Structure 1
Amino acid sequence: MNTRIAPVAATLLSATLLAACGSMPPMMPAYSQASLPAAVQVPAGHQVAMETTGVGEITYQCSAKKDTTGQYEWMFVGPDARLNDRSGKQVGKYYGPPATWESMDGSRLTATQVAVAPGGMGNIPFQLVKGNPAMGNGAMNGVTYIQRVATQGGVMPATPCTAANIGIKQVVNYQADYIFYKAM
């Protein structure tokens, strides 16, 4: 190779590599649960398998309080939400009862609540649930825990629940991150 061309070629190669690196999307930081209340932190030995944002609605119904005459309360009926990945693409859905997380690949699971912690004024609580064995093959296979964090809205209606509106359902909007874990 001509000795005058080699330095020019090396410079062009370096510039090309630097330009290629500069156009790469930044790496997403690993999800950290360090700032969460201890009650809803996933035990050691599990790692994040999928991060989603649930966007949807929670339905409540005005009902008579159990074992109490003449008193009424809003009762949780169930959720209905889309599960989106971090880019906003729908990857599943969340509905109930029973609380069910279903992937677009058809795999799904239910879970049992382990703990809750305050989600802030006007927001449903953070939650930690332990996954039951998944049904179907796909993304939900092997999920051991699911955290509900970064909650927005979803609290029961402010409208009083009385004998006059017993049986009435109210739907409220909510959003929350659902972080899925699998054993390492």
Structure 2
Amino acid sequence: MMMTRAFRLAPFAAAALLAACAASAPKPTPPTVVIPGSLDVPGKQVLVRTLWADGVQIYECRKTADASFPAWVFVAPEATLKDSNGTLLGHHYAGPTWEANDGSKVVGAVKAKADAPNPHAIPWLMLETHSTGTPGLFAKVTAIQRVATVGGVAPETGCGTATIGKQERVPYAAQYAQYAPAS
């Protein structure tokens, strides 16, 4: 009888042990990224947070000045923004806009660009931002660096006169470092 009871409890004990080990496992650390000097943030600003984006870059097949050669044109990003613990803090979308779950948001303008180390990744950027939302998490952010990009480049094929208006959603990931004035 005692043996049967032990076998019934064994799966629960194993599950508890696995959960305890997972909870005590060290959190992953972000990769070290060497940011080109051309993407330095202007003025006396301090890093307030780094967000990890996971989403898509949307492209549309459009006519160009030479109508016989349509091309993929960038439309907008769509991504979730998470902290280093994987907590969803907000979303990134057209504008470009970064909106926190609390309604605070900033809109950016590209001030500098650098090629990503991987030619199959979208460029790294430095953007100046201004607040357009309510007070909150992102309200004081005045600059953002997009670095450590993976994927997101426009398709190389599939855009022709017969596919004008077609959209492609290309997966990408990036780190967005948010800066605010030093207090």
Please, what TM-score do these two structures have when normalized by structure 2?
0.79
Look up the SS of the partner of 2:131 in the other structure: coil
Mapped to 1, the partners of 2:120 and 2:159 lie a distance apart of: 18
1:64 is matched by which residue type in structure 2? K
Q: Tell me by how many angstroms 1:181 deviates.
A: 0.2
Mapped to 2, the partners of 1:150 and 1:169 lie a distance apart of: 25
Structure 2: which 5+ runs fail to align? 1-23
Structure 1 outlier segments of 4+, above 3 Å? none
Q: Tell me by how many angstroms 1:47 deviates.
A: 0.6
Specify the alignment match of 1:42 in structure 2. Answer: 41
- Alignment equivalent of 1:136, drawn from 121, 134, 137: 134
> Is the contact made by 1:134 and 1:143 (CA closer than 8 Å) also made in structure 2?
no
How many residues are paired up?
157
More deviation, 67-76/77-86: 67-76
RMSD of Structure 2 on Structure 1 (CA):
2.2
Mapped to 1, the partners of 2:123 and 2:81 lie a distance apart of: 18
Q: Tell me by how many angstroms 1:85 deviates.
A: 0.2
Q: Tell me by how many angstroms 1:32 deviates.
A: 7.7
2:48 is matched by which residue type in structure 1? A
1:92 matched to 2:90? yes
Deviation digits for residues 115-172 of structure 1, max 9, x if unmatched? Answer: 1100121000000000113420101121110000000000001224211211111111
1:103 matched to 2:104? no
Q: Tell me by how many angstroms 1:50 deviates.
A: 1.1
Q: Tell me by how many angstroms 1:44 deviates.
A: 4.4
What does 1:26-37 align with in structure 2 at a 5 Å threshold? 35-37=34-36
Look up the SS of the partner of 1:39 in the other structure: helix
Mapped to 1, the partners of 2:74 and 2:123 lie a distance apart of: 13
Look up the SS of the partner of 1:141 in the other structure: coil
Look up the SS of the partner of 1:105 in the other structure: coil
Specify the alignment match of 1:79 in structure 2. Answer: 77
Specify the alignment match of 2:62 in structure 1. Answer: 63
2:38 is matched by which residue type in structure 1? A
Tell me the percent identity: 33
Deviation digits for residues 47-105 of structure 1, max 9, x if unmatched? Answer: 1111110000111000011x323121100011110000001111111011x11100111
Say which one has the larger Rg: 1
1:117 matched to 2:114? yes
> Is the contact made by 2:105 and 2:132 (CA closer than 8 Å) also made in structure 1?
yes
- Alignment equivalent of 1:178, drawn from 161, 176, 182: 176
Mapped to 2, the partners of 1:62 and 1:69 lie a distance apart of: 12
Look up the SS of the partner of 2:106 in the other structure: strand
Look up the SS of the partner of 1:164 in the other structure: helix
Specify the alignment match of 1:53 in structure 2. Answer: 52
Please, what TM-score do these two structures have when normalized by structure 1?
0.79
Structure 1: which 5+ runs fail to align? 1-22
Look up the SS of the partner of 2:162 in the other structure: helix
Look up the SS of the partner of 2:142 in the other structure: strand
Mapped to 2, the partners of 1:69 and 1:126 lie a distance apart of: 30
